[in-house]
Amino acid sequence: MPIKRFKSILRALHLNDNTQQPQPGHPDFDKLYKLLPLLNLLGNNFQTNAKNSSSQSVDESMILFKGRSTLKQYMPLKPIKRGYKVWCRCDSQSGYLYEFEIYTGKTCQGTETGLGAKVVKNLTGKLMEEEFEKHVTFDNFFTDTALLQYLHDNGLFATGTVRRNRADLPTMIKNTKNLKLAKGKFKWKTKKDVAFTVWQDTKEVLILSTAFHPKINNTHVTRTQKDGSKKLIKPWLFNNTRREWG
């Protein structure tokens, strides 16, 4: 096919009716409007052609893109630093993608509060309808106490690392002077159905979970110290969650 013919066909290729596209400022305006039929088709096929597993994870992913686009994001700590950011719900073992959302930017001026929780709720809505035991993991961008309680109330067990400055964490984590743990030691506290655990490994690790109780089935891990190798206590939820992180 001649290049001119290819470009002519490419210019005429459309996935949606441009005449029906809501304008900027309209409540239904969507930057992805021209791609919506394709995105919806992919999303439906991903979910209908595979059964949901009992262990899943929610995370962000990057699609490499170096051209010009208002949707392009810059993530300096990611292997792919520039491109389209996509929220994903995947199988923790196989990596199969069940559901996704392309991030189109802030919906308001200033900092987006509650974005992580909103993403998790959107991506797990259909999973909540499944009538079997499910466990979802995610990192500290998404995790807070209210989110885990919400998921538990709707039939989803969840575990995630959590940032020290999150609201509703136990007061013991706020007082850093009193919380000085030796390596391999941990403390925990529960609030309703959510268990909070802080474990001192090489670095401090904080986790919230509705799936595991921190004092049950603790294991050991070997760490090298100045006076040789030692076995340290490791809460079982840290070991189990690591396998399911995806």
* Average pLDDT of the segment spanning 206-224: 74
The whole model's pTM is what? 0.83
Return the structure tokens found at 193: 């159905």
Q: Are 194 and 183 in contact (CB under 8 A)?
A: no
**Residue 72: pLDDT above 90?**
yes
The angle subtended at Cα 127 by Cα 158 and Cα 47, nearest 5°, is 130
Residue 69: pLDDT band by 50, 70, 90 thresholds? very high
Q: Which residues pair with residue 233 across a beta bridge?
A: 220
- Residue type present at position 88: C
pLDDT per residue as tens digits for the range 158-184? 999 999 888 888 877 766 656 677 777
Q: CA 157 to CA 152: how far, in whole Å?
A: 6
CA proximity to 71, closest of 117, 123, 18, 35: 35
Which amino acid is present at 3? I
